[in-house]
Every structure is written in C-alpha cells, then in structure tokens.
Structure 1
C-alpha cells in the first residue's frame, strides 16, 4: 500500500527533507503544504540580497511547479493548516479539507519576535523573514536615506551591512552593550563594531526602542533613554520564535521548539520535526548546516534505516563584508575563559577550558583559521552532554 508523507512547510527544511527522501524512495506519495507561494529560494540570501542586486523575483531558484515536477510531489501553495488530528492521522486545511498521512513532517519555521512598541507607527515596523517580506522591504526602501534597525544580533548586523550598498545610513539599536553580544566576547565585539562604524553603520547600544511615531518625513523612534531617532523606515531584527502552536495543540511536547529526539521524532508517534521549529535533543540551531543534517537523517529514518543525528562542528559565517566574521559559540553555560589573539588585521577569540578549545570567534583575516579550529572543538551533541 502506498504511503503518504505530508510535509508542512516549504522552506529550506521542508524542501531539503523532500529531496533527501526522494533520493531513497520514489514510490511514496509526497505532499508539501505551504502558507506562501512555495517557490524554492535560499532564506540566508535575504540578508545580503541588496548588495547582490537581487530582487524578490530573482531570488527564486525554482518555482513551485518546477519543485513539484522534480520531487514528484503534490504541492499546495497558499494553503493554511488549521489543525492536526494525530489519532486519525489527518491535517485539516482552512476550508474544511482533510488530508490523511502516514508520516507527518513539521517544517514550520519560525516567526519574527515583535517588540511591544507604542505609537501610531508601531504597526509599520517591518521584519524580513521570507520572500514576501523581502519584496515589501525592498519596495519600501525606495527613496529612504535613513533606517533605524532594531536588533544588533547576527541578522540585524547583516542587514545593516547590506544597507550600505544602497548608501542608506543605518542606526542599529540594541539593549546589549555590544553588537553580536551573544556570539562575541567584549574585545572582539569592539573590533567588529569599529569596522562596521568605519563603513558607515551607527550603533545606539544599551538602549531600547519604546515607541514609533509617524512623522512627515517618515518615523520618529523614541528610545527608553529619552532620545529620539528619525528614519524613513524602521526594521526589526530582534530574533525569531519557533512556530510551535500547531504541534502543541496536537499534543507534541514543546519547549523552546518542538521537542524531538536525535531521530527527529516528536513525542507523538509518526510526527517529526525539522528546521527552525525543531528543538533536537535540547538544541535549537536555526542555521543551514544543522538543517541539512536533520533532513538527511529524517529521510533515512522514514525509509527504513535506524539513523541517529550527528552534527559535526558547524562554524557560522556572519555575512558582514565590512568585518568578515566566523563564530562557533561554546556550549551554553560552559566553564571556560576567552583568550584573544589580535593585530590590526584581525582577531581570533578562543574559548578555552584548560587545554580544551570549546568555541571560537574569528574576525578579519583571522577567518582563515576557520577550518583549522573547527577540527578542534567538540561536536554539538558531545558538548551538550
């Protein structure tokens, strides 16, 4: 009897699982249900698309119809899932249609965190989390000379650097005392900030946005220290929250994300999770390489293998050409200290516990050491215990 595999989500996680699955099984019925147009594109490219001269349309690598043909899959674009019935193994779509499945893969992604801003311009603050968001963002940049960007983490700094290509002055606002505060020690963050400021990015740190008011020439952002910033556009990049509501309502265990074991199985039989929405054995890693490893592992498990997810060390490239940066953070709560090796051309920050290297951050020309150091840090699951 033909099995039916239903995938909820058409992002990097959903489509890469589908591809890996099809390599191993050409016979099962495969269905992808997507809230958007279900075109295939690389989400990481959104944060450097301006400097690459890309439009939303040109970021599409393969349209939905081409993906359906390649995967031999039924792809439902612009389709909303209302509920998951795990007893009947059905998903209910908006409008009442119910789709039966033998195995369900949740590749739901994550939503931007929205700050509780006051003011009549609060709803105009834009976040860029998918292709449609990028299209709106790009359109609204027309004629803009000043942007206030809320969030000085990885994505916020990438967008701030990318906006330089449009000769747009960007001020990054963050409550932290340094950019990339969760990834870089203080001295390395200082080097990073200096390089981005030299390129034209401005930082307002240890301050949060309180309100956004509409003004004749754009918006006025009031900070909690009493100062204000004027901008033609306000962009929020304060972080993402895994989409877990459907899974929670279906009875799946949820913590930071949808909890799975290292086989990508949730607490409910025949339901699996991959990508930004998944918390795999305690780790939520919303980056390309972990997603690729998850997709391969789950595809193997759903085609008869008994495969446990293994992660290699996976340094993350921060796309900030003004200061090339690679980070491989130490495990949360790890006992150790940062040691810096620096000169005018770069900084290598090494997080060490005794003789063991647990993590690193490389900036400038020190990024050339990425491969050397990646072989010395523990694998994520080993480090997590």
Structure 2
C-alpha cells in the first residue's frame, strides 16, 4: 500500500499526522523533513530567553518518539527536490518515494534584506530550532548584557524585544513605520506597545531602516537611513517570512503568495493538500489569504485529516485571536481581512487602562479587533462579538 506522505515536520505536518492517526491507525505514513524531526513549539522561540530555556529544552519529543507515537516512517535530514504529480512520487537524494496522497507543510523562509557592509552576512534569523541555537550561542559569546539590534518591529520583532529586554540585554528595535506592530494593530494599540517597550528599556528607532552593517573591532557597526550610527553585538532580522512555494511551483500547483488551497485544504491537484505558513487559505468572499498562525493550522489539520480518510471535509475557520507574547503589554487581535482592510477604519476606546479597538467597514459591520492589555474574558467576549457580526451579515 502506498503511504500518505507529509513533507515537513513542523507544527503543521505533525498535527496533520496526529489528527489522521486518531481516525486511521494502520495506513502507512511517510514524513519527510530536512531537519532532525524532533518536535518543538516554534512560537516559543521568541519568548524563551527570559525563561532561560536552552534549545534542547524546547524540544518536547525526539524523532524516535514521534515515529513511535504516529506509527510513521520519518526520513530526517532529507530534502525533497521535486514532486511528480502524475506518477505520484517525491524525489530526494535518498531515492524516489511513492505516495497515495500528499500533504505539503513546507513552512516559510525568512525574508532577507539587502543591506550593504562587510558584516551584512552576520545578520541572524530565527526561523527554526537550529537558528535559535546559533542565536543563543552568539548572545552567550557577547555576555550577559549583549547589545542586540532587531530589524523589524512586527509581531516577532516585538516579542523578541520584550523577551530579550526581560533577560537583561540591551535592545534596539528598528522599523520603517512610525509605530511598532503597525501592519497588524491600530495606532491606539501600537502606541501603548511603544510606551511599554520603552519602559522596559528597549530603544525604538522608527521611521528608518538599516542600510549598512560593518565590522567594528569585536562588534558590529550599524548605519541607519537617517545617518545615525551605533555599535551592537548581534543583529537579528525579524522583518517577516515568505511562504515556501518552490516545490509547489515546480510541480505546477497553483500558487500566489502561498500555495492556493480550496475550502478543504486541497491544492489545484486532487489528492495534494497543504496547510500552515506555506498555504493561502480560501476565505468566505472567495479570496485567498495567508494565515501564519497556530489556530488556523490546528483547524486545517483536523479537516485535512478527515479528507485523507476519504471524507472530504471543509475547513471551518472560526475567528481566533492572535496573541502577541509581549508580557509588558500583552496584545490580542484579529486583523481585518485584506479585502476590507482599506474600506473601513478602527474605532478605539480606553477604559481603566485597557484599550479596545474594533474595525468597522463603511456599513458599520465589524471585521476585526485589537485589545491590550488583554485577558481571556475580554478577548473571548470580543471574539463572540465578531462572530455574531459575521453571521448576522455574511460577506
């Protein structure tokens, strides 16, 4: 019997495998991964420093434990070079492997900025556990109060800034926008986060970008577009991720910014599914959006697992808040979909130190919210309010 093959051993790939095994204990499973196959929580990478977590402490299970739990054949350190959708095979240096159905859980790649200077190649990225280990080692070499420059004040950049500052490091956060988290949150929330990070000791250099990184003795010298120059020990890029669609493109699957999937998680080729950071999910209005968050992965995995058993199941994507792990100013939000993000506006109120923002379209229909400092009760109440608004007046 040909196995169901899963390419990728991150949260997306392993969650599909786990959900499938709840439904089918015997169909062969083949999981192919370029890393060591151990399971860890990727979201914890950006808030592990203050907790003193070493790389191996973040790994909850080894590949052998995962293989036993899933009754699966897991090929580690194996890169898939191509997919033959006609023959239903995947090609690797280890040989060709047949599949009956295929799941692409390819994740995303860190976006690399073009920066001048003879030390531009020393910019670090943290997109997996191996990257995190390199970053930890660089910080250890720099000492207990390392000077860390972070490029990008988006979700990950803000989380790292808060975490590293809590761990005692000197943090400089750079972003071309006038406020942190500007692409996701309304100004009222971003302003609160800005103040909280500053009070934590983070130095924010906004409305500018890094243009050059050069060696300066044992340190690195950063030059900004506003001509400011300063020394630092480590530079971390957190400017975002780009869906890994290379395999899908080569296999002539439909792609855009991600791998296009239908309401069942199926790609343009029947029998091939995708989810996670590499997938572009179908929305209620027929458009497709990247949803690089945990909740969509869990929901999609359950539906795809059902579909792999032959019971084609729609992904029932309920509203779920993105929780920004910035303890100095915890934020929860559901940003409006791209289709409505330019046709409405945010309305914010501040009550007893808590800022609540709602996004309304021109017809006063609610499409998103942001809350800070957030708590479970208030967050869930806003999710319920948003759900009711969407049901009452569907797109």
Bin of the TM-score, shorter chain as denominator length: over 0.9
CA change 1:101–1:365 in 2 (3 A) is: closer
* Residue 386 of structure 2, aligned match among 360, 367, 377: 377
Q: Please list, as runs of the form range in 1=range in 2, the aligned pairs for 1:361-372 lying within 5 A after superposition.
A: 361-364=370-373, 368-372=377-381
CA change 1:251–1:265 in 2 (3 A) is: same
Q: Give the Cα separation in 2 of the matches to 1:368 and 1:243.
A: 36
Q: Give the Cα separation in 1 of the matches to 2:159 and 2:390.
A: 28
CA change 1:68–1:380 in 2 (3 A) is: farther
Partner of 1:86: 85
Q: CA RMSD in A?
A: 1.8
Q: Which stretch of the first structure deviates more once superposed, 236-245 or 135-144?
A: 135-144
Partner of 2:305: 299
Partner of 1:185: 186
Maintained 8 Å contact 1:188/1:347: yes
Partner of 1:348: 356
CA change 1:66–1:379 in 2 (3 A) is: farther
Deviation at 1:94, TM superposition (A): 2.0
Partner of 1:49: 48
Partner of 1:176: 177
- Gap regions ≥5 residues in structure 1: none
TM-score normalised by L of structure 2? 0.93
Question: 2:123 matched to 1:117?
Answer: no
Maintained 8 Å contact 1:150/1:238: yes
Q: Please list, as runs of the form range in 1=range in 2, the aligned pairs for 1:70-85 lying within 5 A after superposition.
A: 70-85=69-84
Maintained 8 Å contact 2:174/2:209: yes
Q: Give the Cα separation in 2 of the matches to 1:136 and 1:317.
A: 26
Maintained 8 Å contact 2:48/2:163: yes
Deviation at 1:352, TM superposition (A): 2.4
Secondary structure at the residue paired with 2:305? Answer: helix
Q: Deviations over 1:40-74 (max 9, x none)?
A: 00100111111121111010111000000010000
Secondary structure at the residue paired with 1:234? Answer: strand
Maintained 8 Å contact 2:67/2:73: yes
Q: Deviations over 1:165-186 (max 9, x none)?
A: 3211111101111100012222
Question: 2:332 matched to 1:326?
Answer: yes
Maintained 8 Å contact 1:311/1:380: no
> What number of residue pairs does the alignment pair up?
383
Q: Deviations over 1:250-309 (max 9, x none)?
A: 010110101110111111122111111011110210111100001000000110212111
Partner of 2:285: none
Question: 2:240 matched to 1:232?
Answer: no
Maintained 8 Å contact 1:141/1:233: yes
Q: Give the Cα separation in 2 of the matches to 1:176 and 1:380.
A: 31
Question: 2:126 matched to 1:106?
Answer: no
Partner of 1:137: 135
Q: Give the Cα separation in 2 of the matches to 1:116 and 1:379.
A: 45
Q: Give the Cα separation in 2 of the matches to 1:322 and 1:56.
A: 24
